[in-house]
Amino acid sequence: MSRFNTKCNGVSRRDFLQLGLGGSIGAGLGNLLRMKANAASAPEGSSKKDINCILVWLDGGPSHYETFDPKPDAPSGIRGEFGTIPTSVPGLHFSEVVPHMAKVANKVSIIRSIAHTDPNHGGGNHYMMTGAPTPVPVSCGAVVTFHPSFGSMVSYDRGIRGGLPAYMSLPRVSRSGGPNFLGGEHAPFVVDGNPNDIKFRVRDVVLPKEIAESRAASRRDLRRALDRLPRFTDAAAKDPAVTFDQYYEQGVDLVTSPRAQEAFDIFNEPESTRDKFGRNDLGQRLLMARRLVEVGVSFVTVYYGGWDNHTKLFERFKGSFMSKLDQGIGALVNDLDERGMMDNTLLVVLGEFGRTPKINKDAGRDHWPHAMSVLMAGAGVPRGGVVGATDSKGYYASENVYRPEDFAASLYTKLGIDPHQILHKSSGRPVQLVNNGRLIKEIFT
C-alpha cells in the first residue's frame, strides 16, 4: 500500500520543518529566522513580523505619580513625598525614585493619557493584557480570561519559529495572559526560577543537568530506531502522530542548535552586563528576556507584581522594590539600543491602572483607572516622546486620551498584526481582535 508509509522513519522531517534550526551553523540564528520569516510572509509589512516584544507587567497597578507623571505643583496630599528630577529630555520630569529611567527618557516614549473605567485588578488586568474589557464585572482577586492575551495572539499569528515557543512568560503567567479560544498551544511557556540564582536554567529547552550532549544524542538515536508506530503521512488522514513528529523535530532542532543553547544560558553574558541590569531576580529576568527575543522568541512577558500599594507606598518605593525596576528598565533600554535591537524590539512597561490622586490614611494610594502611564520604546516608537497628559493634579487623562483598545491596536500594529481582524470562537461566533481601537498616532511618526 503506497498511500501511507509504514516505515518507522516514514516522516520526512524536512517536509514539515519550515523554520528549523538544524543545519543553520554559519548563518546567525537571528538572521536565518528573519530571512525565513520574510520569505514566509507577504512582502508588505514583512519586517514588522520580525519585531519581537518584551512586555513588563507591573501587576497591581503602579502609581503614575511616583513614576512618569509626577505633579509637583499639586497639594501635598496628592503630590506625595517625592520630588521630581529632570530627565534626558529637556522639560520632562519623572519622579525622583526612577533616576535610571529618567536617564533613558530620550530613548523611549511615555504615554500619560491611557484611561479606562475598570477599577478592579481582575478586570483591569484583563483589559490591559488583552485589549478587551471583561463582559461582566470581575472582582479584584479573580484571574479570568475571556479574550486572547497579546502574547497568545502573537503566538497564534506567527507560530513556532525554530522550535522556539513564540510566547514566553517569566517567572509566571500574568493573570489574563492566557490564550482563551486560541487554544492551549498558544499558552505562554513559563520560564520559572530565578536567573540570578547560580543554578538557574531555562527549563525544558536545555538538557537536564546530568545528561551530557553525547548521551542525549544517543538517546535520540535509540528513540528513532525504536519508533515503530506507522505514520499516515497523507494529509487527508489527519494523523495526529504526524503533527507530534513535527513538534518533536522542532524541539530537537532547538536543543541541538548551539546558538539557541547559548542564548538560554545567562551565564554566557559578560559580568559587566549582568551587573548593569542589577544582580537581582528582576534585573536578570529582564536580561533573560532580551536574550530570548534576541534568539527569536516573539513575545516575552516579564511579570513583576507588588504594585497594589494601598499602604506605605512611599516607604516601599524608597527601597529595592522600585530601584530594581528602575535599574533594570534603564539597563534594558540602553542594552537594546547599544545592540541595535531597538528597531526590531518593542518594549512595553505597564500595569492595569494608575493610583488615586489623594493619598489615603495609610500612606498609600488606591485603584484609579482614569489615568495611567505606559512606557513604550523601540519598533519606531519616538525617542524622547511624551504622549498626552493628565490634568494638573493627575486626576484624569485630559489630553489625547486613549483607551486600552487604542493601546492594543497600536501594539498589534507595531508587531505587524491586523488589530481589526476577525477571529472565530469554536462556536463559529465572530470576534474582532480589537474592538474599534484606533492607533496612538504619536507613536507612529
Partner 1 sequence: MNPYSLAKRMARLLERSVISMAFLPLGISVLTSELPISTTPNTISDIKSIEVIPQTLTLKLGDGSETFVVSAIDKDGIRRDVTSDFLLESNDIIERVGIYQIRGKSPGSATLSGTWNNHRIAFTTSVSEETDPAPLSFVRDILPTLSRAGCNGGSCHAKPNGQNSFELSVFAYDPKSDYDEIVSDARGRRIFPAFPPESLILQKATQAVPHKGGKRFEKGSLEYNRISEWIAEGTRYTTPGEAPLSKIQISPGQGRFAPGSRHQFRVEAHYEDGQTRDVTHMADYAVSDKELLAVSTSGGVEFGNQSGQGVVLARYMGHNAQVKVTIPNHHTDGTRTPSDFTETNFIDTLAANHFANLGLSPSARCSDSTFLRRAFLDGVGRLPTIAETREYLDDERPAKRKRWITRILDDPRYGDYWANKWADLLRPNPDRVGVKSVFMLDRWLRQSFRENRPYDQFVREIINHRGSNHGEGPAVIYRDRRVPTELSSMFSQLFLGVRMECAKCHHHPFEKWSQADFYQFAAYFGSLKQKGAGLSPPISAGTEVFYFAPGGSVKHPITDEAMLPKAPDGPVETELNQEPPRQRLAEWLTGSGNPYFSRAIVNRVWANFFSRGFVNPVDDFRDSNPPVNEPLLDGLAEHLVKNGFDLKKLMSAIMNSSLYQLSTNPNESNLNDTKNFSRFYRKRLPAETLLDAISDVTRVPEKFDGMPPGSRAVEAWTYKIESQFLDAFSRPNASSDPPCERDEKSSVVQALHLMHSDNIQSKLSAPKGWVASLASSEKSPREIVEQLYLAVYTRYPSSEERAIAEAAIPETRSARAQGIEDLLWALINTAEFVFNH
Which residue, chain included where needed, has cell 528513540? Answer: 223
User: CB-wise, 104 or 433, nearer to partner 1?
Assistant: 433
Pick between residue 42 and residue 235 the one whose CB is nearest to partner 1: 235
Report the residue from 5, 81, 84, 232 that binds partner 1 according to the rule CB under 8 A.
232
Handedness of CA 77, 80, 81, 86 (dihedral sign): negative
Stretch that binds partner 1, among 138-146, 262-270, 303-311, 316-324 (CB under 8 A): 138-146
* Residue 314 identity: F
Q: Is 240 in the site for partner 1 (CB under 8 A)?
A: yes
Alpha-carbon gap, residue 174 to 301, rounded angstroms: 8
Of 240 and 340, CB closest to partner 1: 240
Length of the chain: 445
CB of 405 to partner 1, least distance (A): 12
Name which of residues 313 to 342 contact partner 1 (CB under 8 A).
none
Contact call for residues 122 and 397 (beta carbons, < 8 A): no
Closer of 85 and 142 to partner 1 (Cβ): 142
**Of residues 396-435, which lie at the interface with partner 1 (CB under 8 A)?**
420, 422, 424, 426-432, 435
Cα–Cα distance, 298 to 292 (Å, whole number): 9
- Taking CB under 8 A as the criterion, the residue among 15, 45, 197, 203 binding partner 1 is 203
CA distance 9 to 242: 11
* Binding residues for partner 1 restricted to 148-187, rule: CB under 8 A: 160, 163-165, 178, 180-181, 183-185, 187
445 vs 427: CA distance, rounded Å: 40
The torsion region of residue 152 among left (phi > 0), alpha (psi -120 to 50) and beta comes to: alpha
Nearer to partner 1, 4 or 321 (CB): 4
Sole binder of partner 1 in the list 17, 74, 85, 143 (CB under 8 A): 143
Task: Kindly compute the dihedral angle of the four CA atoms of residues 109, 114, 120, 126, in this order, to the nearest 10 degrees.
Answer: -70
Closer residue to partner 1 in complex, CB, 142/363: 142
Residue from 92, 190, 363, 439 in contact with partner 1 (CB under 8 A): 190
Dihedral sign computed on CA atoms, order 172, 174, 175, 178: negative
Residue 6 beta carbon to partner 1: minimum distance, rounded to whole angstroms? 8
Query: Is there binding between residue 75 and partner 1 (CB under 8 A)?
Result: no
Q: Is 140 in the site for partner 1 (CB under 8 A)?
A: yes
- Total residues contacting partner 1 by CB under 8 A comes to 78
Answer yes or no: are the C-beta atoms of 378 and 436 closer than 8 Å.
no
Buried b (16+ CB within 10 A) or exposed e, 3-41: eebeeeebbebeebbbbbbbebeeeebbebbbebbeeeb
The least distance separating partner 1 from the CB of residue 143, rounded to whole angstroms, comes to 4
Tell which one of 22, 99, 251, 384 touches partner 1 (CB under 8 A). Answer: 251
295 binds partner 1 (CB under 8 A): no
Kindly give the residue spans of alpha helices, DSSP state H, lying in 270-389. Answer: 271-277, 281-295, 313-318, 320-338
Of 87 and 180, CB closest to partner 1: 180
Contact 404, 127 (CB under 8 A): yes
Restricting to residues 205-224, name those near partner 1 by CB under 8 A.
205-211, 215, 218-219, 222-223
E strands within 185-309?
189-190, 299-303
* Candidates 90-98, 233-241, 335-343, 395-403; binding stretch for partner 1 (CB under 8 A): 233-241
Contact call for residue 198 and partner 1 (CB under 8 A): no
**Which residue lies nearer to partner 1 by CB, 196 or 261?**
261
Residue 294 beta carbon to partner 1: minimum distance, rounded to whole angstroms: 19
